Amino acid sequence: MRRTTKRRISRGVLYLIFIAAVVLIAISADWERLRANFLQTDIAREQLPDMITVAAKNTVLFTLIAFAGGLLLGVVLALMKLSTVLPYRWLAIGYIELFRGLPALLTIFGMAYVLPIAFNVNVPGGAVGAGLLALIMVAGAYMAEVIRAGIQGVPKGQTEAARSLGMGSGRTMFSIILPQAFRIVIPPLTNEFVLLIKDTSLLFIAGSTLATREITTFARDGVVNTANATPLLMAAMLYLLITVPLTRLVAVLERRMARSR
Amino acid sequence: MTTNGVPAIEVAELRKSFGPNEVLKGIDLTVAPGEVVCVIGPSGSGKSTLLRCVNRLEEPTSGKVLVEGIDILDPEVDVDRVRARIGMVFQQFNLFPHLTVLRNLTIAQQRVLGRSKDEAIDVARKNLERVGVGDKIDAYPAHLSGGQQQRVAIARSLSMNPDMMLFDEPTSALDPELVGDVLDVMRDLARSGMTMMVVTHEMGFAREVGDDLVFMDEGLIVESGRPREVLSNPQHKRTQAFLSKVL
């Protein structure tokens, strides 16, 4: 048998397996029950306005706050980890290990309940404030490692050129190295952003009011109130509606940047 | 301009080790104001390290480095201020890829010398014209050829109005047909009276432009003198062996 025919046949088999799997799933699923449980249009219509104006808005807002805070904290931690001052390095390493190692849920719980009891301090912003602070702390730990790798990915010659022009080490870092490092780490930072969108669903553990519910909490309440799972499917669609355009947009930006480089 | 009588660069008993590996084993060298000194030698001879010690990109292990009479190894000396007066051109150009050509030339002028934006742009424009890439002012480095990038890098250094220029194999990363443009710029620069220390493999350039030629091998200056004499009548065996390979 010729090699091309062989290849064509093996590819055909792969297609067949794929089609068979799809058909099998489609006929074995109980569509009537699925529809009754997840696709009640009247419930969807009733839930949709608040789900967008309150829940989706909160999810986006919380994500933006946590990302901005995490980014700032991440830069500080990354610079500490690269510092020549040993205690700074230890502090950064300890912090990163701690908050990367703990589940975000526990950190949020700790900030919301343990901190007020242990130190008698309340984070401003109430439950949401405490939860967001916890998300910032966790995001900062993850982003610190990403940013550190980005900084180290900038060629050494860049530092040497800047220093040769008489720029100090701080100025070199902020004007020359960090802007280039951020370009390098756009893909992993996008990843971090998408993870954060989903991590906002953990904020419920800190407690939430009607006005501070994000998509998941809102949908869970919806399930209880309507005795139907339709809000969960809506929530899933909403998350995808946020994340997919975002990742596509970043991919386009990245391509454009690569072209101008 | 430099003070009369004081050498632009004075290196004495300079030693540099990387771990157990001694790269410079006691270098003595003087560059007078307005002089062009070319440094040649096989790779690994320490010539780039010597150059990089002059603006303290490398920290010497021992010895003295005086720039215009100032001991740059003195902890009291503000090394950033000294560096601002020494232009440095690298083998890999090291332009800032995230900035336009213009911004590459103005950023240090504004942030280090404290020049106004208008003045910095003015100076940048003149220097880009001088090296023949005035039309690339708004381009990003990635859109330039290697020869253009290196000329922009030279213009970037010149924009700081340095008292002297260090060149670290400035044409070694270039395609052969682009080498000439960069050497032309360096030749003009030398003619204008710029003090230059050039690590190079371009023997033609060294012969024609250099006032002094230094041959280094294994961390030592083996031979130095008038370029024409060293190149055509090398005294030392190692110089002869090296030149027989490259000429």
Cβ-based contacts of B81 with chain A (< 8 Å):
166
Nearest one of B100, B99, B70 to B82, comparing CA atoms:
B70
Residue A176 pLDDT: 96
Is residue A124 pLDDT above 90, yes or no? no
Residue B221 pLDDT: 96
Domain boundaries defined on chain A:
40-260
Residue A238 pLDDT: 93
Higher-scoring residue by pLDDT: A207, A23 = A23
Strand B70-71 versus strand B62-67 pairing type: antiparallel
Test A157 with B92 for CB contact under 8 angstroms.
yes
How far apart, in Å, do the first and last CA atoms of chain A sit?
Answer: 48
Residue A17 pLDDT: 94
Question: Under 8 Å CB-to-CB from B128, ≥6 apart: which residues?
Answer: B101, B105, B134, B136, B137, B152, B155
B125 close to B172: Cβ distance less than 8 angstroms:
no
Is residue A40 pLDDT above 90, yes or no? no
Cβ-based contacts of B157 with chain A (< 8 Å):
164-165
For residue A220, the 8-state DSSP code is H
Residue B4 pLDDT: 62
d(CA A54, CA A218): 9
Residue-wise pLDDT for A140-190, tens only, equals: 999 999 999 999 999 999 999 999 999 999 999 999 999 999 999 999 999
Which of these CATH numbers, 2.40.50.140, 1.10.3720.10, 3.40.1190.20, 1.10.760.10, describes A40-260? 1.10.3720.10
Residue B40 pLDDT: 95
Six token digits for residue A162: 């800047």
pTM for this entry: 0.85
Test B88 with A180 for CB contact under 8 angstroms.
no
What is the ipTM for the molecules in this complex? Answer: 0.92
Closest CA of chain A from B215, distance in Å: 25
Residue-wise pLDDT for B70-127, tens only, equals: 999 999 999 999 999 999 999 999 999 999 999 999 999 999 999 999 999 999 999 9
Is residue B158 pLDDT above 80, yes or no? yes
Query: pLDDT grade, residue A193 (50/70/90)?
Result: very high
Residue-wise pLDDT for A69-99, tens only, equals: 999 999 999 999 999 999 999 999 999 999 9
Residue-wise pLDDT for A54-72, tens only, equals: 999 999 999 999 999 999 9
Tell me what the mean pLDDT of segment B187-195 comes to.
95
d(CA B61, CA B90): 23
- Phi-psi category of residue B56: left, alpha or beta, with phi > 0 → left and psi -120 to 50 → alpha: left
Test B140 with A261 for CB contact under 8 angstroms.
yes
Total residue length of chain A: 261
Is residue B1 pLDDT above 50, yes or no? no
The beta-carbon neighbor of B96 closest among A158, A166, A168 is A158
b/e burial code for range B59-72 (CB count within 10 A of at least 16 → b): ebeebebbbbeeeb
Test A157 with B142 for CB contact under 8 angstroms.
no
Query: pLDDT grade, residue A259 (50/70/90)?
Result: low
Test B81 with A166 for CB contact under 8 angstroms.
yes
Cβ-based contacts of A159 with chain B (< 8 Å):
none
- Mean pLDDT computed over every residue of chain A: 91
Is residue B246 pLDDT above 90, yes or no? no
Six token digits for residue A119: 């130190």
Higher-scoring residue by pLDDT: A228, B215 = B215
Closest CA of chain B from A173, distance in Å: 13
Is residue A12 pLDDT above 80, yes or no? yes
Let me know the angle formed at the C-alpha of A221 by A219 and A223, rounded to the nearest 5 degrees: 70
A157 shares contact with chain B (CB less than 8 Å): yes
Test A167 with B80 for CB contact under 8 angstroms.
yes
Test B84 with A158 for CB contact under 8 angstroms.
no
The beta-carbon neighbor of B98 closest among A162, A171, A183 is A183
B200 close to B36: Cβ distance less than 8 angstroms:
no
Residue-wise pLDDT for B23-53, tens only, equals: 999 999 999 999 999 999 999 899 999 999 9
Of chain A, the percentage scoring pLDDT greater than 70 comes to 98
Nearest CA in chain B to A172: B108
Q: Using CB atoms and an 8 Å cut-off, which of residues 165-184 of chain A contact chain B?
A: 165-168, 171, 175-176, 179-180, 183
Residue B2 pLDDT: 45
Helix (H, G, I), strand (E, B) or coil at B103: helix
Cβ-based contacts of B90 with chain A (< 8 Å):
157, 160-161
The beta-carbon neighbor of B111 closest among A155, A164, A175 is A175
The beta-carbon neighbor of A166 closest among B96, B98, B112 is B112
Nearest one of A32, A217, A211 to A125, comparing CA atoms:
A211
Residue A36 pLDDT: 84
Residue-wise pLDDT for A27-38, tens only, equals: 888 888 888 888
CA dihedral A123, A128, A129, A130 (to 10 degrees): 50
Tell me what the mean pLDDT of segment A89-117 comes to.
92
Ramachandran angles phi, psi of A65, nearest 5° = -65, -50
Is residue A260 pLDDT above 70, yes or no? no
Q: Which of A121-125, B223-227, B239-243 has the lowest mean pLDDT?
A: A121-125
- Mean pLDDT computed over every residue of chain B: 94
Cβ-based contacts of B153 with chain A (< 8 Å):
161
Query: pLDDT grade, residue A113 (50/70/90)?
Result: confident
Residue-wise pLDDT for A42-53, tens only, equals: 888 888 888 888
Nearest CA in chain A to B109: A165
The beta-carbon neighbor of B80 closest among A166, A179, A180 is A166
Of chain B, the percentage scoring pLDDT greater than 70 comes to 98
Residue A210 pLDDT: 81
